[in-house]
Structure 1
């Protein structure tokens, strides 16, 4: 696992290609590009991790530019690394609200939607409607705390200091999804749930890798084998086939009760 400062030339070159081609399509509207997520926090796995980016512009991105960006990101995402990117303009950051609006978002989850819009010349997803994403409160908080400025003004001059209640709302929404989806995606759910628990308990903003190691040292002994398996699968890109329903139920029961207790104590 690696961070931006220690990543391979292949990863660095891929990010720089994203920077150059994104700037080309945004033109004079472009302001900056920033890394958050595992590549910023030292948990990037070349076999399994996304590259998480925020791009900032001077003003709203037009429909035509959105289509050009979608075409480009569709052509490069997962070749070799999947990308997740959100584009916001200055006013959306300066007049912060939660859930935050944004101009454009791409991830592999959106691939089929954008492909369909482009092939049929439709505007179901590539349009000027106001889109909102509660996850941006978490992305921006992590960017302020651990992010990397690749190009543009320094992070502290670009991004607002997101209120704690907005960040908490964002990560608790993700926590609920992790609990509900633990049997479908145990590795992500276990490590992300521990991230949330560590934050509500001690106020620590962590990567999945860091949270897993903390959980291994801090959770009850009967849960440590489950956490250890999740860490192993995440670090080595191993298929998560070895999780039993009973251990996942025990983990979610414990972590849910602990998070609720921390929230009550902190209210």
Structure 2
């Protein structure tokens, strides 16, 4: 049984009839999984999860997600249908699992409902990918997200990404490229395709940093991210240039 099948069976075992459907999004539907890609799954449910379901789902995900389990990292998001259909902003996430939060989970934190602007992007990718693991096609259970809210959601994530620029450089730079391309084109691209789009529009002095991040994404797992001192010194100027383009587009210029 592959990892995606394990996730689908886990959702069915924990949520049962409460789950309407489970849908791939992210790299899995935007061009294919890369060595550093998560398995991204959006689950749509009829009702909020109870405390027992939260603990059961969390405990199982800790056992099947991440390189310590010889598997890809899993990002699993549960949303209650009535909180996103009809669409409303900001949307509320009922449950979120991601490997970057593993230390908190292992310390006893259990995911709880909270506002999550990023759901605008996840839902858009799930609708585009049209890849149900269980349940009906996503267009039957989810409303499309207005372009204005895609922009709002993209911008909402920028401060948090900046906080991780030094510790998660590859992912942050590729995400900035994706935000820029999304605002400019109205489409959510894979991280490497967004990098290609941005590289064609950057001046030469700002390309090496993004080219390196793209190569790391295409060829290296999470545990293998290396930057020379020369490239590291160019990360912040590159980010500043891309953020200036993002701000310009967000302002409608």
Matched, 1:31 2:20: yes
Matched, 1:247 2:234: yes
RMSD of aligned residue pairs (Cα, Å): 2.1
Indicate conservation of the 8 Å contact 2:96/2:111, yes or no.
no
Number of matched pairs: 246
- Work out the CA distance in 2 between the residues paired with 1:189 and 1:126: 23
Deviation at 1:245, TM superposition (A): 4.3
Deviations 1:210-253 (A, max 9, x none): 01112222221222222211111111114232253442232123
Q: What residue number does 1:142 align with?
A: 125
Indicate conservation of the 8 Å contact 2:54/2:110, yes or no.
no
Q: What residue number does 2:84 align with?
A: 93
Indicate conservation of the 8 Å contact 1:187/1:240, yes or no.
no
Provide TM-score, normalisation by structure 1: 0.83
- Work out the CA distance in 2 between the residues paired with 1:25 and 1:240: 39
Q: What residue number does 1:53 align with?
A: 41
Higher relative contact order (CA closer than 8 Å, sequence separation 6+)? 2
Q: What residue number does 1:224 align with?
A: 207
Indicate conservation of the 8 Å contact 1:41/1:147, yes or no.
no
Cα–Cα, structure 1 residues 188 and 113, in superposed 2: closer, same or farther, change >3 Å? closer
Rg larger for:
1
- Work out the CA distance in 2 between the residues paired with 1:81 and 1:27: 24
- Work out the CA distance in 2 between the residues paired with 1:207 and 1:72: 28
| Structure 2 counterparts to residues 127-206 of structure 1, below 5 A | 130-206=113-189
Cα–Cα, structure 1 residues 199 and 24, in superposed 2: closer, same or farther, change >3 Å? same
Matched, 1:261 2:252: no
- Work out the CA distance in 2 between the residues paired with 1:115 and 1:187: 25
- Work out the CA distance in 1 between the residues paired with 2:51 and 2:91: 19
Q: What residue number does 2:30 align with?
A: 41
Deviations 1:64-122 (A, max 9, x none): 111111111111111311111111222122243222123222112333333343xxxxx
The equivalent position to 1:103 in structure 2, one of 90, 94, 105, is 94
Matched, 1:70 2:58: yes
Indicate conservation of the 8 Å contact 2:25/2:41, yes or no.
yes
For structure 1, list consecutive stretches of 5 or more residues without a partner in the other structure: 1-9, 118-123
Deviations 1:165-187 (A, max 9, x none): 22212111223333443333221
- Work out the CA distance in 2 between the residues paired with 1:18 and 1:28: 16
- Work out the CA distance in 2 between the residues paired with 1:260 and 1:112: 33
